[in-house]
Structure formats: C-alpha cells, structure tokens
Chain A
Amino acid sequence: MTHFSCIVVVPAFNEAANVSAVVRDINAQLPHADVLVVDDGSSDETSAFAARAGAAVLRLPVNSGYGVALQAGYKYAVAHGYRVVAQMDADGQHSAEYLPRLLAIVEDGDADVVIGSRFLDGDGHYTPSMARKVGMELFGRVATIVMRQPISDPTSGYQVMSIDVARFFTTDVYPADYPDADILILLHRSGYRVREVGVQMRMPEGASMHSGHRSVYYVYKMILSIGLTLLRPRPTGSS
C-alpha cells in the first residue's frame, strides 16, 4: 500500500462533540490514510475541530443531507487520486478498529465494496428503533433476494470501496437523499462485488443524522427506489 492512497470520508452535521475523537481514532488505526470530514453545513464548530484534529475539511455551504455530503466526499477522493475510499459516521458509533480489516478485503481485490454490518455477529450490541428495525429487515430481505447473497445491514454507513465504485457514485445514479438497499442492488446489477463483514457499534449518544427521516416516508421511498432501480436498464459500471 502506497502512502496516502486511502481516504476515510466522514460526513458530519453538527458533530463538534464527537468529530475530533473520530478523526483521532482513524489516524491511530490508519496512520497512512487521509481523513476527510465533510461538514454538511453545520452551525457549530465541526469544521474547526475536524481541521484541528488533522483532517481535510470539505464544508458544504448549506445543509444538503447525508447522501449529498457523502457524494461530495467521493468527488474529492476521485479528484485527488485516491485508490480506496472508506466511510464512517461522525457520531462516534463506528469504531475505526475494523477499518484495516475492511480495507484489506478491498485492497486484495476480494470485493469492490465491503460493508460493516451491525447484525452479522448477532450479539445484539446495536438496537435500532422499532420502525427502523422493520424497514431494515424488509429491505435487507429484498436486497438478499435480488442480489442472491445475504445482506443483513443495508443502511450501514461503515463501508470501504474501491475508487471505481466511488467514481460510479459521483454520477447521477447516486440517490442524493439517503443511500440504502437501493444502492446495493444498483451496485450488484452493475457488476460490482459486495461483501459484508461483521462489526460492533457503540450506540450513538444523542440523535444521529439518521434519526431525522420519518419512517413512513422511508418505507415509501425505498419501495419506489428499489422498484425503479430494477426497472431501469443496467448502468455500465465502468463509465
């Protein structure tokens, strides 16, 4: 692995309390990786704290949502010539100790995308709210059927991908509001190999940026999005 060929994208919205610790955690685990904090128009000191902790900072001038922030991170990674892109949430629920393992799988070419699953180990460490649990279960099942491989945690924000996948995500195919099982199905249909690895999560303190979206809209959006993904012609992954 050449120096600084890997970048860890951390989308953050008003996470001044956690972002420094997350950046330091990543730097400790991966001293040769760059960290990019995408500040999604925070009103607090997220940007300043992230920069002080040693991260590159990409600040979006207006709050644009989780998917838009992530996509900005992918664009940064592509423009700056990184080879592998990892992503973690800024609320401190992900521990960077799993990053080397996830990275190794992508760098060895065993998969194009590796997802850190909260449920694979089945230790009940992470307990989502009832509505989210039902939605995750349902769309995980749909993804499992369509992709013919078990998908236990399609909403996980803990992922590592090759730069080809990140480049694919910088196009209009990426759902800007909230990436979920639909993007996994899209990846599968585009010929990318997706793999899940079990990770343990800490429960986030306070509300995470995920809790904002309402469950009824979430279920509606996912049904529509997965249906439309299946109806569209297969996009070419190499573009």
Chain B
Amino acid sequence: MDPRIRVITIGGALVVLLLVIELVRRRKLKEEYSVLWVVTAFVVLVMSIWYGLLNGLTHLIGAVAPASTLLFFGMLFVLILLLHFSVRISMLERRLTKLVQEIGLMSATAPARPDDAAPGEAPAQEPAPLPRMPEQPVR
C-alpha cells in the first residue's frame, strides 16, 4: 500500500481518537457515546499499522485494494453509529412524549359542571388535583 495513504489513515485515526478523548475529558461527550467512536478509530488505526492483517482481510472479503478494505470497515462502523443514534433518538422521543403528557396532565383544568356555573359563564380556573400516574420504567 502506498505509504502516503498509510500516513493519512494513521493520522486521521489518531486525530479522531484524540478528539474523542478530549471531548470526553471536557465532559462535552458522554462516555457512553464515545465507545463506538473509539472502537472505529482504533480499528482503522490497527489496520493501517498492521499491514499483514489488512492484506489478509482484503483477500478474505475479495477486495482488490487494501485501501477499499479500510474504507469498507470505516463505512460499516459509521452505519452502526448512525443506527445507534436512530435508536437513541427514538428513545428520547418516547421520553419527550411522556414528559409532554405529564406536563399537560399537571396543568389540566377541571370541567365546569352544571352545578358550578350557569352555561356561558367562565369556568372555574383552579387546576385539577395532580394526577398520580402509574409507575412505569422509562426505557
């Protein structure tokens, strides 16, 4: 493999690795989310340095150039990362829905009953008592 591409991939992987570690150190990235990034950068790094492994893998998957093997695995990890994010977004949306409903329930107003007020009059504005929701684990 051309030494230039090795320098680029090793350099690229190192930059990503250091960036992720730095972001975690500054608490801008949660440890939990750093795992996939670190694994991706690490695999690219190992395969760029250990030429024998890359060559073997290239023959195994039937690729022509070792560079395409690197690209393929890099791509695969990015896809997994995106799927992981879709799962997290779905989870966040479910949590948001529960919160939105909970806020609505907490501020719900009581109905104006016929014995409270004549029709057409403004209804009583005291909020209904806080509803007690069944305990549900948030997944």
Check if A and B associate: yes
Which residue numbers of A lie inside 8 Å of B, CB to CB? 4, 31, 34-36, 38, 51-52, 54-62, 64, 68, 71-72, 75-76, 78-80, 170-172, 176
CB <8 Å contact, B131 and A36: no
Q: Identify which of residues 85-130 in chain B touch chain A, using a CB-to-CB cut-off of 8 Å.
A: 94, 97, 100-101, 103-105, 107-114, 117, 119, 122-123, 128
**A54-B112, A57-B108, A68-B100 known, 18 other contacts, Cβ within 8 Å:** A4-B113, A31-B114, A35-B111, A56-B108, A57-B109, A58-B104, A59-B104, A59-B108, A61-B103, A61-B104, A64-B97, A68-B97, A68-B101, A72-B100, A72-B101, A75-B101, A75-B131, A76-B108
CB <8 Å contact, A56 and B97: no
Return the contact of B100 from the options A52, A54, A61, A170 (Cβ within 8 A). A61
Nearest 7 pairs of A and B residues by beta carbon: A79-B131, A56-B111, A58-B108, A72-B101, A54-B112, A34-B111, A60-B104
Q: A54 with B123: in contact, given A64-B100, A171-B136 (CB under 8 Å)?
A: yes
CB <8 Å contact, A71 and B136: no
Beta-carbon contacts of B77-89 to A below 8 Å, as 1s and 0s?
Answer: 0000000000000
Q: Give chain B residues whose Cβ lies under 8 Å from the Cβ of A54.
A: 111-112, 117, 119, 123
Is B60 engaged at the interface, CB distance under 8 Å to the other chain? no
* Highest count of chain A CB atoms <10 Å: which of B128, B132, B136, B139: B128
Return the contact of A59 from the options B107, B110, B128, B132 (Cβ within 8 A). B107
Q: Give chain B residues whose Cβ lies under 8 Å from the Cβ of A4.
A: 113
Q: Give chain B residues whose Cβ lies under 8 Å from the Cβ of A62.
A: 100
The total number of A-B Cβ pairs within 8 Å is 75
Classify chain B's interface size: 20 to 34
Q: Give chain B residues whose Cβ lies under 8 Å from the Cβ of A36.
A: 108, 111
CB <8 Å contact, A79 and B133: yes
CB <8 Å contact, B101 and A56: no
Taken together as a complex, chains A and B put the C-alpha atoms of A4 and B139 apart, in Å, by 35
Q: A56 with B100: in contact, given A72-B105, A76-B108 (CB under 8 Å)?
A: no
Closest CB-CB distance, A146 to chain B, in whole Å? 26
- Nearest B residue to A58, CB-CB: B108
Q: Give chain A residues whose Cβ lies under 8 Å from the Cβ of B119.
A: 54
Q: Give chain A residues whose Cβ lies under 8 Å from the Cβ of B113.
A: 4, 34
Taken together as a complex, chains A and B put the C-alpha atoms of A171 and B138 apart, in Å, by 11
Q: Give chain A residues whose Cβ lies under 8 Å from the Cβ of B62.
A: none
Taken together as a complex, chains A and B put the C-alpha atoms of A228 and B97 apart, in Å, by 22
Q: A176 with B109: in contact, given A75-B133, A80-B128 (CB under 8 Å)?
A: no
